[in-house]
Amino acid sequence: MTKAPHLLKASMTYDGGPADTGPDMSLRPGSGASAANRIVDGPAGRKPRKALSRRNILIYGTLIVVCLYYLLPLYVMIVTSLKGMPEIRLGNIFAPPVEVTFQPWVKAWAEACTGLNCDGLSRGFFNSVKILVPSVILSIIIASINGYALANWRFKGSETFFTILIVGAFIPYQVMIYPIVIMLREVGLYGSLTGLVIVHTIFGMPILTLLFRNYFASVPQELFKAARVDGAGFWAIYFQIMVPMSLPIFVVAMILQVTGIWNDFLFGVIYTKPDLYPMTVQLNNIVNSTQGVKEYNVNMAATILTGLVPLTIYFISGKLFVRGIAAGAVKG
Amino acid sequence: MAAATKPSRWHRNLNAKLAAIPMIVTALVVFIGGTVWTVVYSFTNSKLLPREKFVGLAQYDRLWSSSKWLISIENLAIYGAFSLVFSLLIGFVLAALLDQKIRFEDTFRTILLYPFALSFIVTGLAWQWILNPDFGVQQVVRNLGWESFAFDPLYNPEIVIYGILIAGLWQGTGLIMCLMLAGLRGIDEDIWKAAKIDGIPMWKTYIFIVIPMMRGIFITAIVLIASGIIKVYDLVVAQTGGGPGISSEVPAKYVYDAMFLSQNLGQGFAASTMMLLTVVIIVVPWAYLEFGGKRK
């Protein structure tokens, strides 16, 4: 796959590219020539733009309107979760709450019912954490070692396995779901958190391996050779040279996996039991349960709670997130 | 990329081979083995448990005469076509706007991309609430005085798939925008200068020069959107649960329902094999175009 390095590069130019140097830098002629030009042509550089030109109004206007549309669902969720049910029944979903109440949040976290359990979303939250932490660690360890072996220690057939792995990323999960159920059942892990961790590790492998392979391949080859000459072996080079040099890519991989696994629904619902359902599955069960009176404010509080983890990661990680998804573009 | 150190003795690379065992097992057992297994068992009449009683194409006959499957396919086609066109269109236009050396670019980009961090379940539930006919957009417009206003996609079998499309686009266009923006940034500044000197209007430069130059990015985006479309599942489960009736069913949900709810494994295998076939039809020509001849 030659796709990803190209993508990564593209996103890197994007990170530190023209946006940071500002609009004038790229248009400024070389300093020697500019002195001469200035005399010949008069003032150099672009004609200053008016702040309120028609073009600017059009661009900023469109972007602001689109951004408002994108923010609307988040806004509606937040205001709904802060209202009491009577206010929701009477009022307008876009109106800010007249009387702010945090009761729906408390209820969503600690009292909302799914089936017989009435201990709220907190159960799903902790299940998700128990799934997330080992899955992220395990998948990153395995994929980074794979990537390292593929980049620096190629053996006969390694590229073939890698190609299969990448092609496998395009196979719909539905095709592989049931064989995995059988395999997990055979080893007694079907319905357990361990089983789900293995599934996440398997399906995270193609994209992460690709990510690490490309990164390790860009580490200067001389470094690797020098370490070999000094007698360092496979593991010594991995732990003492590759890992310390590649921390940014580990962070990218972590962002990718944390958001991906937290947001998973399909694997959670198939490979775990109701007691161990991750947060997304439990959220869906709470909101879409057919019994009882619908409490929209509680539902929205629960929805925001579930989205909070990936959103926090997104807003903290900023450009690294963009890099991660650009690299993950091949995953689909 | 001259990364390979050629092994002269097989045990010299033993550690690498040991370290690659998880990858080899995943590739051979899960990806190839699992896929072949499912395809083979799609020709059996497995019900609650897989059985080796082969019945030829009977499962496929049943599949294609099931109205639920036909509706699923139709929905996928509508959702897919619109989602592809609008994702590319909106993604590109937004990227082009962000590429005009504007201020607050990071802020705009952060806002446009944040839905992508949210799961389909959260997305589906948020839009289910906004499109709720009793409290959502429809009611708000009616309260403004337009009493007969009707916009209740999630409760109208005719247009329910468009309700899902709205949510899907909201979640996914940010990603396409980011890809397109990366592509636009990769285009040489001189191209713009040359076009300007030749007096070519901006929109023409975009359509006839820049877009053809971004072919690679467009293909990546299309493959990305297409494989996302085929997998669409959580969004439907959260937003409509396949309803009203079976009007918003999709193939991925058909597979899940057949396998885990109605204990009809054979149907599930046949349906998932059809999904695989669709992917093959999309991916193979792309892979051929991208890597044809170059692949070792």
Q: Which A-chain residues 255-314 have CB contacts (< 8 A) with chain B?
A: 259, 262-266, 270, 280, 283-284, 287-288, 296, 299-300, 303, 306-307, 310-311, 313-314
Residue contacts between A and B (CB atoms, under 8 Å): 301
Q: Provide the pLDDT for residue B101.
A: 85
Contacts of A180-186 with CB under 8 Å at 24 or more apart are A180/A271, A180/B30, A180/B34, A181/A270, A181/A271, A182/B50, A183/B29, A183/B30, A184/A271
Q: Report the top-level CATH class of B55-291.
A: mainly alpha
Asked if A231 is an interface residue toward chain B (Cβ–Cβ < 8 A), one would say no
Higher-confidence residue of B71 and A328: namely B71
- pLDDT at B177 (0 to 100): 93
Confidence of residue B54 (pLDDT cuts 50, 70, 90): confident
Cβ–Cβ below 8 Å for A165 and B31: yes
pLDDT tens profile B114-156: 999 999 999 999 999 999 888 888 888 888 888 888 888 888 8
* Contact between chains at A329 and B100 (C-beta distance less than 8 A): no
Q: Which residues are A114's β-sheet partners?
A: A117
Q: 3-state DSSP call for residue A199? A: helix
Minimal Cβ distance to B23: which of A2, A7, A165: A165
Residues of A in contact with B80 (CB under 8 A): none
Report domain extents, chain B: 55-291
pLDDT computed for residue A47 by the predictor: 60
Report chain A residues whose CB lies below 8 A from the CB of B118. Answer: 263, 307, 310-311
**pLDDT value, residue A54:** 84
pLDDT of residue A1: 36
Reduced to 3 states, what is the DSSP secondary structure of residue A272?
A: strand
- pLDDT, position A43: 56
- In the predicted model, what is the mean pLDDT of chain B? 87
First-last CA distance in chain B = 15
pLDDT reported for residue A233: 86
For residue B119, the distance in angstroms to the closest alpha carbon of chain A comes to 5
User: With an 8 Å Cβ cutoff, are A77 and B32 in contact?
Assistant: no
Query: Of chain A residues 96-135, which have a CB less than 8 A from chain B?
Result: none
Q: Is the dihedral of CA B69, B261, B162, B218 positive or negative?
A: negative
> Which chain B residues are within 8 Å of A263, Cβ to Cβ?
118-122
pLDDT at residue A219, as a whole number: 86
Instruction: Supply the DSSP symbol for A294.
Output: -
For B22, the closest chain A residue by CA position comes to A142
Chain A neighbors of B48, CB-CB under 8 A: none
B171 — pLDDT class (breaks 50, 70, 90): very high
DSSP conformation class of B150 = -
Q: Per the CB < 8 Å rule, is A172 touching B279?
A: yes
Alpha-carbon distance of B3 to B16, in angstroms, equals 14
Q: Note down pLDDT in tens along chain A; length 332 residues.
A: 334 444 433 333 333 333 333 344 434 444 444 444 445 555 556 665 666 788 888 899 999 999 999 999 999 999 999 988 888 888 788 888 888 889 889 988 888 877 777 788 899 999 999 999 999 999 999 999 999 999 888 888 888 889 888 888 888 999 999 999 999 999 999 989 999 999 999 999 998 998 899 889 888 888 888 888 888 888 889 998 889 988 888 998 998 899 999 999 999 999 998 889 999 999 999 888 877 778 899 999 999 999 999 999 999 887 788 777 666 554 43
- Alpha-carbon distance of A63 to A69, in angstroms, equals 10
Provide the 8-state DSSP code for A275: G
The residue that leads in pLDDT, B34 or A13, is B34
* A75 inside 8 A of chain B by CB: no
Q: Which residue of B has its CA nearest to A23?
A: B101
* Rounded percentage of chain B residues whose pLDDT exceeds 70: 94
Q: Is CATH 1.10.3720.10 the right assignment for the domain spanning A122-330?
A: yes
Q: Which residues of B touch A164 (CB under 8 A)?
A: 27-28, 31-32
Beta bridge partners of B44: B54
Q: What is the pLDDT of residue B7?
A: 47
> What was the pLDDT predicted at B30?
92
Nearest CA in chain B to A279: B121
DSSP A10-38: HHHHHHHSHHHH-HHHHHPPPHHHHHHHH
Contacts of A89 in chain B (CB under 8 A): 135
Greater confidence, B253 or A93? B253
Residue of A27, A72, A170, A213 for testing the chain B interface, max B β-carbons within 10 Å = A170
Q: Do A175 and B34 touch (CB under 8 A)?
A: yes
Where exactly are the structural domains of chain A? 122-330
Distance from CA of A297 to the nearest CA of B (A): 10
